[in-house]
Structure 1
Amino acid sequence: MPLTPRQQERFKALAAEIEGIDVEVYERFERDPLEPIIGLGKPNLRIGFFGRDPGRDEVRHGEPFIGAGGQLVRKALYEQLYGETMPDFEASKAVGEHFFWINTVPYKPVGNKAWSMKIKRHFHGLMNEVLISRWEGRTLITLGREAFLWFGINRPKEERDRLEAFWKQEDRFESSIEVTLEDDQGEAQTFTLYPLPHPSPLNQTWYARFPGLLKQRLEQLDVRQDNLTL
C-alpha cells in the first residue's frame, strides 16, 4: 500500500531540511535523494519487519531490505514458506511481497552510519503515522538495537527504561514485548515487537547465528503460506 500523496510530500519536505543523506549514491543510481525508500506492502499483511535505514542496494533498486542483510532475511522467509533454497534475486523480491517493510529513517545515510537521535526524531511522527495508518498488522520483527529502541523515542522515561531493560535480557531474541505508539494526529496503536540482531555481515557476534534466530521467530509466529494475512 503506497504512501498517500500528502505523506510522500511530507517526507520530501522533511528530507530537504536535513544533512547527511548520501546524495552521491542516489546520483550514481539516478535516484531522487528526497524520495523515501519504504517497502510497505498490502495493509492486511500479518507480519512486518522494522529495520534501521536503507543502504546502497536499497537506493539502487528503490526497495528496502534488498541488500546483503535483507537477502539474509528474504532467504529465511523463502525457505520457511516454500521449504527450499531461494533460487535467485527475483525470488527474493517476490517473497518480500508477503510482508510489510519499514525503517527508522527511509533515507541512506553517508557511510551507512546510523542516523542520529535528532534525525530519527525529525521523522518519528511521520513514521508513526505510516505504521499506524498504512498497515493493519501489529506484529513486528525488529532488526538490531537501533530499530528496537526507536519505539522509545518521544515516549515517557519509564517506557524507554522498560525497552532498555528488555534489550539487556539474555532471552530478548526469544521473547516479545508490547509497545504503544501514537502519531501526531493522536491515533494510538499497540504493537508486539519480536527483536532480532541486525543481519549485517559486520555484526560478527550475531551474523552466523542470525538465520537460526530468524527461523525460530518465524516458527514462533506460525509463518506459512496460508497464514500471511489478517
Structure 2
Amino acid sequence: MPRVQKIEDLIESAAAEARREEFPVDEPVYERVERDPRRPILFAGSLDAPVCILARDLGRDEVAAGQPLIGAGGRLVRAGIVAAWPSKANAGEPPRLEDALDHALLTNTVPFKPPGNKAYAESVRARFRPFVVSLLAGFWRGGQVITLGTEAFRWFEPYAEGGRFDESAGTDARFDATFACRLPVSATGKGDPPFKTIVVRPLPHPSPLNRRWYSKFPGMLARRLEEVKRQVAESADPA
C-alpha cells in the first residue's frame, strides 16, 4: 500500500482495494440505506483520542449509521465511554452517546459488513489489515486499545513480541491482563520510528447474545477505561 498523507486518502485506498477483487459483502443491507457496499466505514471518533475500541466487523445498524459500534453492543460501549468522560458542558442533562466520539476512536478489523454476520475469512482480514494498521499507527495519536471479542483480540497477535501472545491470552485471565504490541509504521519518512508501541486490553464481546459476559461487561469496560485514564495521566506526568 502506498504511503498516504491524509485520512481521506487512506479511505479511498481501502475503497480501491475493495473494488479490485470480489469478496463477500452483505450488499442488501447497504442497498436498503443507499450506501456503496465497496465504500469502507473505516472509523468514527477522534484521531486524538487516548483510547481505541476495536471490534470484529460492522453490523446492520453500523451500515445504516455509517459508523462502527452503534448497535446494541456498541451503545453499551458508548455509554461506558460517556460515563468515563462525563461532559461538563451538558451537566445535569441525560448523557448523549454521540459524546463518546470525542473521547474514543471506534473501528473494526474489517471495515465492511459480512453476509449473515459471519466472521470474515482470514484472507479478507489480510486484505484490509494494512489499512487498519495505517489508521492506528499512522493517523491515530493514542496508544491504548480495548478489543471486543476473540477475533478482535487475536487480530493483534502478529504484532506481539515473537508474533505470539503468552499463555494468558487463551484464558479468562486475558480480561485482566495487558498485551504490548508493536504496529509497523509503513513507508516511513526520514526520522520516523519504524514501529508504534500500543497496549492492548482485551474484553469479551458486548453482544446481548453473549450470555456469559453481557451482564458483567459494563463493569469490565469501566475498569478498563479507568486503566486507560490512569495510564494516560501517568504518561503525561513529567515527574
TM range (shorter): 0.7 to 0.9
User: Could you say which residue in structure 1 is the equivalent of 2:36?
Assistant: 32
Establish whether residue 218 from structure 1 lines up as the match of residue 225 from structure 2.
Answer: yes
User: Could you say which residue in structure 1 is the equivalent of 2:52?
Assistant: 48
Q: 1:135 aligns with which of 131, 137, 140?
A: 140
Contact 2:57 2:108 in 1 (8 A): yes
Matched residues in 2 for 1:69 and 1:218: separation? 16
Contact 1:41 1:98 in 2 (8 A): yes
Contact 1:53 1:108 in 2 (8 A): yes
Distance 1:78 1:40, change over 3 A: closer
Contact 2:160 2:180 in 1 (8 A): no
Establish whether residue 148 from structure 1 lines up as the match of residue 153 from structure 2.
Answer: yes
Contact 1:76 1:215 in 2 (8 A): yes
Q: Give identity over the alignment, percent.
A: 37
User: Where does structure 2 lack aligned partners over 5 or more consecutive residues?
Assistant: 189-193
Deviation of the 1:222 alpha carbon: 2.6
Contact 2:44 2:67 in 1 (8 A): no
Instruction: Please list the CA deviations of residues 41-74 of structure 1 after superposition, one character each: whole Å capped at 9, or x if unmatched.
Output: 3332111111111110110010111111100111
Q: The residue matched to 1:32 in structure 2 has which SS? A: coil
Matched residues in 1 for 2:176 and 2:132: separation? 26
Deviation of the 1:85 alpha carbon: 10
Matched residues in 1 for 2:123 and 2:224: separation? 31
> What is the TM-score with the length of structure 2 in the denominator?
0.82
Q: The residue matched to 1:115 in structure 2 has which SS? A: coil
Q: Say how many residue pairs are matched.
A: 221
Matched residues in 2 for 1:100 and 1:156: separation? 21
Establish whether residue 107 from structure 1 lines up as the match of residue 112 from structure 2.
Answer: yes
Distance 1:29 1:133, change over 3 A: same
User: Where does structure 1 lack aligned partners over 5 or more consecutive residues?
Assistant: none
Q: 1:192 aligns with which of 195, 199, 215?
A: 199
